[in-house]
């Protein structure tokens, strides 16, 4: 049953050709789909979803890249006031695609970032996926399938898409007994979702100050270049297919706002350069690529191209050359987070921990709470044996920015090296929880509350967290039990 629920999530990733519809029709905000799942059930589904995604796909954990895609997503959400919690993340695969999961989990493939010619085009895809979430398309999908004993279309999609990446035997088993009539019903349903997501997405895009014509423009450019599609999936599963009717509908919506020119941010170009160098499996090939583009002037942004070159040099272990490139970057932009992190990375890998710690302390004092800076600062302190300082830095940051969930693993490492077992178990539990592993997280907290001599306030917090997780687990068990019945 867990597989079936997870399979149904992926239905919302699959976008078929949109039907011709009135581009000015208002979205249905009062759908009865709101009652299909409780908020607690949706959070539970989101945990299971992300666990499945992490198992199947290479989610990028780089704090610099993560910070960029999160910042871009937040800008779209905040300017439109669509509400809800959103989590944006990157996947290190060349596929040009993006998807929206439960509770605002939005994944973007590296290939899409590289395919986007402008930041507005990338923002257009994020806005489209935000619209899927804000218009409750996942809940509508549940509502449309609630009379079916087995969500046949979801099983087909899971077999073809997830089966080859996670468990081919389970995927083939899911294929058995799928009814063709259900496939067409689901296509018709998702076509309406896609059309609505385009219209609302353009509103989100324009209200955040991006070019609304970027959405139809990007659709058209993808349509002219079939090489951008993922050839590993069956044709039925190729997401966001481009048609003339879809482009026309998007153009009509964009014309309501008019053309808005917005220059690309440096961060956009830096992220693309970072992803480009990651795309080379061998460090030397990445170095040669950037040496060639710099020598021939084949680049859109000189700073970004040198940044990609420096990252490739670090991968190749050529620290002196990387330091030379980074020095010129910092001279041009002394407070650019990407350059400061790169400079510290070179120092740490080259064994110059003292210099890294001094520079990062200054950067953190100057820039404030930037997670990429705080993370590498803590890593440098840990490598230098300054465990107490690292733990204090991380805990202070966590108090100010509790929404940064990537911090828990590093907190657990720092607490473990400091000898504080209770905190180690507690932070490890949070790391497991946000990775979707509820049962192991509970086991960690059970170990923590059994320890003797734990500070009363810490013990109370650990017990309260344990009680909350146990309650979630009990709710999940009841839900899966009902599903199996």
**Closest to 60 (Cα-Cα) out of 119, 110, 123:** 110
Q: Is 471 annotated as a binding residue?
A: no
Q: Which residues contact 291 (CB under 8 A, 6 or more apart)?
A: 309
Is 198 a known active-site residue?
A: yes
**457 in Cβ contact with 470 (< 8 Å):** no
Q: What is the DSSP letter of 103?
A: G
Of residues 232, 6, 247, the one with CA closest to residue 97: 232
132 annotated binding-site participant: yes
Angle at CA 369, nearest 5°, toward 363 and 370?
70
* Cα distances (angstroms) measured from residue 42 to each of 364, 418, 429, 436, 479: 37, 37, 21, 13, 12
> Cα–Cα distance between 252 and 260 in angstroms, integer?
15
Distance CA 23, CA 46 (A): 31
267 included as an active-site residue: no
The whole-angstrom separation of Cα 108 and Cα 92 is 9
Question: Within 13 A of 478's CA, how many CA atoms are on the CB side?
Answer: 8
The residues with which 89 forms a beta bridge, in sequence order, are: 107
- Catalytic residue, from 198, 264, 347, 430: name it: 198
240 is annotated as contributing to ligand binding: no
Separation CA 470–CA 438 (nearest Å) = 9
Which residue in the block uniquely carries the two structure tokens 């249905």?
A: 28
Choice among 66, 119, 121, 129 that is catalytic: 129
Residue set of the binding site = 128, 132, 194
- Catalytically annotated residues: 129, 198
Residue set of the binding site for Zn(2+) = 128, 132, 194
């Amino acid at each position: 049953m867990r597989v079936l629920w997870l399979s149904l999530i992926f239905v919302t990733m699959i976008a078929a050709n949109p039907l011709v519809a009135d581009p000015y029709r208002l979205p249905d905000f009062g759908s009865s789909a709101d009652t299909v799942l409780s908020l607690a059930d949706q959070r539970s589904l989101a945990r299971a979803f992300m666990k499945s995604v992490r198992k199947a796909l290479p989610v990028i954990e780089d704090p610099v890249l993560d910070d960029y895609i999160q910042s871009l997503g937040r800008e779209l959400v905040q300017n439109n006031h669509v509400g809800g919690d959103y989590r944006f993340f990157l996947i290190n695969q060349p596929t040009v695609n993006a998807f929206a999961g439960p509770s605002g989990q939005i994944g973007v493939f590296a290939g899409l970032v590289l395919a986007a010619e402008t930041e507005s085009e990338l923002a257009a895809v994020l806005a489209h996926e935000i619209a899927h979430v804000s218009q409750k398309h996942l809940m509508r999908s549940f509502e449309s399938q609630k009379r079916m004993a087995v969500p046949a279309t979801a099983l087909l999609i899971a077999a073809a898409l997830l089966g080859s990446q996670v468990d081919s035997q389970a995927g083939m088993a899911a294929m058995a007994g799928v009814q063709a009539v259900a496939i067409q019903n689901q296509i018709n349903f998702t076509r309406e979702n896609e059309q609505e997501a385009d219209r609302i997405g353009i509103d989100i895009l324009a209200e955040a100050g991006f070019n609304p014509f970027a959405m139809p423009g990007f659709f058209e450019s993808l349509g002219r270049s079939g090489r951008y599609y993922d050839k590993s999936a069956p044709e039925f599963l190729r997401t966001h297919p481009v048609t003339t009717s879809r482009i026309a509908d998007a153009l009509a919506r964009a014309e309501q706002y008019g053309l808005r020119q917005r220059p690309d941010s440096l961060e956009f170009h830096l992220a693309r350069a970072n992803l480009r160098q990651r795309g080379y499996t061998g460090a030397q090939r990445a170095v040669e690529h950037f040496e060639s583009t710099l020598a021939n002037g084949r680049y859109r942004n000189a700073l970004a191209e040198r940044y990609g070159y420096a990252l490739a040099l670090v991968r190749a272990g050529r620290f002196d050359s990387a330091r030379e490139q980074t020095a010129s970057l910092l001279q041009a932009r002394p407070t650019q987070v990407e350059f400061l992190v790169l400079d510290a990375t070179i120092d740490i890998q080259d064994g110059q921990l003292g210099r890294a710690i001094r520079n990062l302390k200054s950067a953190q004092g100057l820039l404030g709470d930037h997670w990429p800076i705080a993370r590498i600062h803590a890593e440098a302190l840990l490598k230098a044996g300054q465990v107490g300082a690292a733990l204090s830095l991380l805990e202070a940051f966590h108090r100010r920015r509790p929404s940064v969930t990537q911090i828990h693993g590093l907190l657990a490492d720092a607490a473990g090296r400091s000898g504080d077992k209770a905190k180690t178990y507690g932070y490890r539990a949070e790391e497991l929880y946000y990775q979707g592993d509820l049962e192991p997280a509970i086991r960690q907290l059970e170990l923590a509350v059994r320890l003797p001599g734990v500070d009363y306030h810490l013990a109370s917090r650990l017990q309260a967290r344990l009680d909350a997780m146990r309650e979630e687990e009990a709710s999940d068990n009841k839900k899966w039990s009902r599903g199996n019945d």
